[in-house]
Structure 1
Amino acid sequence: MDGTTLEGMRTALRGPVIGPKDPDYHQARKIYNAMIDREPAAIVRCTDAADVMDAVDFIRDHGLELAVRGGGHSGPGLCLVDDGLTIDLSPMRWVRVDPAAKTARVGGGSVLGDLDHASHAFGLATPAGIMSTTGVGGLTLGGGHGYLTRKYGLTVDNLLSADVVLADGSFVTASETENPDLFWALRGGGGNFGIVTSFDVRLHPVHTVGVAITVWPVDSTREVLRWYRDFLPQAPEDLYGFFALLAVPPGPPFPEEIHGHKMCGVVWCWTGDLDRLEETLAPVNEPGRPAFHFTAPMPYPALQTMFDELIPAGLQWYWRGSFFDRITDEAIDVHLKYGENLPTDLSTMHLYPVDGAAHKVGADDTAWAYRDAVWSGVIAGIDPDPANAQTIKQWAVDYWDELQPYSMGGSYVNFLGAGEGQDRVKATYRDHYDRLAEIKRIYDPHNLFHANQNIEPAKER
């Protein structure tokens, strides 16, 4: 993009347009995953919906490449494109809560911590992720799951409406009654259909939750996973627990004698009567005595921030995901093999439950295509040292390859890795893909929004 075009864009927009010669360019192009090192022609920081509309018009009319950044947590770095433009929504970080209606309107550049902070003041929350630094936009558009999913469903099950800037630069609202086809697609179809400048979400009564962390030696993985696969689906929906393979981090609440040890474990969240937490979790001794078991009441936003310092922005990441409707003995053998051989102290595997309330929504009610999944799994190679990038990637790919025969075929779209290909995108949407492609043809026929896990527009009939 030449200097004249850059200056033209600066004139057209209220927010800053940051080019390669600007002193803050290299900071502006950084995202959560430091393995991604792309150099856009400019980063366009939009201050409001009008800025987004003007930016889309400018980018489209000049034939430029476009990417969209909300929170910047995209594992494959889809919020940046070399020599193109990133529309950065980070100035649009705001949340307005209506405590009487139990709803919140959330700006498109907000992160989960913004939403959690604003809603917690009223004793409210919505299911969304496990880290406060994750962007609301990307997480929601992919479907969204988190600590409250078994109780209150996916994030998209709690989406009431969205304000969207389309590829032609127009502004629309999508809901059950306005542009319902677009609303259906936004609930799981990713960033394929437009740029969401605000979300209206339903909130639920959540304030202080029961938190527990239970870990066992990694060689207990077979016994623990066999117990976990039976215990959790039958547990009350107030109980959520994601299974993890990990190296114990050096700090509280873990005792020093297990720091750095490879373990398997479960992070629990209990939204029921706090006096019943210990009773509910008494079965954790059944697969064998834990090496460590910690319980405490905790404000919900504190739980959401628990991993923020452990895995901050700026690390090397490579991840891949899969859905599972069961955890087979053969899959457990794979988990044990790779859990015993974690390549770095931060590398991990998580199995997030997506049953309970998420199963009460119809299979065709949203673009999320795996209402029959019980777990959403992610394998993440993580390390601060760029020299280990290939090592963590190879571990994640090998692990995923061996586990895939025991999966349901597709993945949570936000857990697709870089370069997995169009077949994986189609597998993620199953028989919803053709309907999504038709909606894409209506709202983005020329595929302006393609720097994502792309759904290609259906061809004209």
Structure 2
Amino acid sequence: MSIDTAKGILGDATIAELEAGLRGTVVRPEDPGYDQARAVWNAAHDKHPALVVRCAGTADVIRAVEFARSQDLLVAVRGGAHSIAGFSTCDDGIVIDLSPMKGAFVDPVRRRMVAQAGMTWGDLDHETQAFGLAVPGGLISTTGISGFTLGGGVGWLLRRHGLASDNLTAAQVVTADGRVVHADAQEHSDLFWALRGGGGNFGVVTSLEYQLHPVGPQVLAGLIVYPLDEARQVITGWRELIADMPDELTTLIVLTTAPPLPFLPPEVHGTRIVVLAGMYAGDPAAGETAVGPLRTLGTPIADVMGPMPYTGMQSLLDPMWTAGAHNYFTSAFIEPTEAALDAVLRRHATTPTPSSELHLHQLGGAFARVPAQASAFSQRDSGVLCNVIARSPDATAFDAHVAWARDTREEIARHGHGAMYVNFTGDAAEDRVRAAYPGSVHERLVRVKDAYDPTNLFRLNQNIRPSAAA
């Protein structure tokens, strides 16, 4: 059966030729597994690609890229399929699905690992924790490592060991012309600079090499839950504490609605709460001293912060972030002034759904000590990252929820320098991309784009348009 695309018709023979050159598989719209193959984590994006190529390795990626270029197809690259803005899928084009590529090699002596791009953070943590080692990963273990890393990567080890991208030491990339290049600090160094924060603009990353750090297997981590009527004193007290916190401790404030979790009293379920989450990446005994003041910011409803496996903290929030909901995320780097906290609390009072939230990520530490010019992730001088999340179980009134998130972001962003976090940029509007990259950084990214993808084959991302498309 031939397939209609926006650019023309793909005949059976053409598709059969593609499939014959793969070790993986091609999924067509008429195939029984098509709906599963096209599904992504964020249900706000219900797309119907012409083909999904499930790649078994780098050779398959090369073949898929060459095919897409020869047929003038729109390209979506998928790892963990968590792209908030929907870049993991497309209508009529080709999805290059890396999720079958989960190979990993850990060198515990050199404290390095090479991971294929289809791994999730849960997959990666499983491999590294066998040696008591870790890469700074995400807050949700089902998130893919590749897109997360290329956009920066904020997680529980941020203050101790920096972003995921700060710990990327090399990458294998299939470029728009089908070449395979190895990018590191010595070889293709401009590309390596751009990959660390510049997103998926420059090719398909098929494997990533990371620096590893001793973490776990036990850490001091968890949640302290406070009632909403203590929100002001809790957040103000937290702001004062983070000024002098040890780098081993990374914390996060979540303004949300209490889910029916077993450690929360039934009368709290469905009410607005303040959650203080954190992890101490060091000796748990020293961690008890560090987190002690967090327990006295108010009158806790629940305190479930204590020793736990590192992998337990990495997956603690997974049940709250399952696939199938409609999601829109946006963000702003801010300073936690009184006026900023007023804005955060005011906007939390207007959240449109119980699962819509505001997050205040503590920055500083190792994250702030990386020179701004060292990578494309140059936003290093703010104290807090505010993430604004609109989430709904279905499409009902979702446009209004998105409008709430955008308005909230605009109000809160006035208390910073206007920049946003690439991975929490819910759409691809050019002004949003420019808000993630200061002028000189954007100009350098354009030069790298010109060198590796001058026709903008890889444009489903927070797009850095090449000069020819400007």
TM over 0.5: yes
Instruction: Specify which of 2, 14, 17 is matched with residue 10 of structure 2.
Output: 2
Aligned equivalents of 1:186 and 1:352: distance in 2? 23
Pair 411,200 (structure 1): closer, same or farther in 2 beyond 3 Å: same
Instruction: Specify which of 208, 217, 237 is matched with residue 227 of structure 1.
Output: 237
Give the AA of the match of 2:219.
V
- Residue 121 of structure 1 deviates from its aligned partner by 0.8
- Residue 410 of structure 1 deviates from its aligned partner by 1.4
Q: Corresponding residue for 2:301? A: 291
Q: Corresponding residue for 1:306? A: 316
Q: Deviations over 1:66-90 (max 9, x none)?
A: 1100110000111111111110001
Give the AA of the match of 1:269.
M
Equivalent runs, 1:260-275 vs 2, <5 Å: 260-275=270-285
SS of the equivalent of 2:396 reads helix
Instruction: Specify which of 329, 332, 338 is matched with residue 329 of structure 1.
Output: 338
- Residue 243 of structure 1 deviates from its aligned partner by 0.9
Aligned equivalents of 1:93 and 1:435: distance in 2? 32
- Residue 212 of structure 1 deviates from its aligned partner by 3.0
Instruction: Specify which of 210, 223, 231 is matched with residue 220 of structure 2.
Output: 210
Q: Corresponding residue for 1:36? A: 45
Aligned equivalents of 1:212 and 1:279: distance in 2? 15
- Residue 267 of structure 1 deviates from its aligned partner by 0.4
| Superposition TM-score, scaled by structure 2 size | 0.94
Aligned equivalents of 2:128 and 2:382: distance in 1? 29
Q: State the superposition RMSD in angstroms.
A: 1.7
SS of the equivalent of 1:451 reads coil
Instruction: Specify which of 70, 84, 87 is matched with residue 75 of structure 1.
Output: 84
Please say if 1:20 is aligned against 2:32.
Answer: no
Partners of 2:263 and 2:302 within 8 A in 1: no
- Residue 285 of structure 1 deviates from its aligned partner by 5.0
Q: Corresponding residue for 1:171? A: 180
SS of the equivalent of 2:148 reads helix
Partners of 2:249 and 2:278 within 8 A in 1: yes
Give the AA of the match of 1:301.
T
Aligned equivalents of 2:434 and 2:278: distance in 1? 33
Equivalent runs, 1:60-459 vs 2, <5 Å: 60-207=69-216, 208-284=218-294, 286-324=296-334, 326-419=335-428, 421-430=429-438, 431-459=440-468
Structure 1 runs (4+) deviating above 4 angstroms are none
Give the AA of the match of 1:152.
H
Q: Deviations over 1:381-423 (max 9, x none)?
A: 112132242343232122212212113211111111124x112
Aligned equivalents of 2:294 and 2:315: distance in 1? 24
| Superposition TM-score, scaled by structure 1 size | 0.96
Partners of 1:210 and 1:271 within 8 A in 2: yes
Instruction: Specify which of 46, 62, 77 is matched with residue 53 of structure 1.
Output: 62
Give the AA of the match of 1:55.
A
Partners of 2:264 and 2:301 within 8 A in 1: no
Partners of 1:221 and 1:332 within 8 A in 2: no
SS of the equivalent of 2:131 reads coil
Give the AA of the match of 1:389.
F
SS of the equivalent of 1:190 reads coil
Give the AA of the match of 1:236.
P
- Residue 62 of structure 1 deviates from its aligned partner by 1.4
SS of the equivalent of 1:106 reads strand
- 128-137 vs 352-361, which moves further: 352-361
Pair 460,26 (structure 1): closer, same or farther in 2 beyond 3 Å: closer
Partners of 2:44 and 2:326 within 8 A in 1: yes
Aligned equivalents of 1:264 and 1:460: distance in 2? 46
- Residue 244 of structure 1 deviates from its aligned partner by 0.7
Q: Deviations over 1:249-279 (max 9, x none)?
A: 2123333332222111210101222123332
Q: Gapped runs of 5+ residues in structure 2?
A: 1-8
Aligned equivalents of 1:111 and 1:210: distance in 2? 23
Aligned equivalents of 2:296 and 2:128: distance in 1? 37
- Residue 282 of structure 1 deviates from its aligned partner by 2.4
SS of the equivalent of 2:414 reads helix
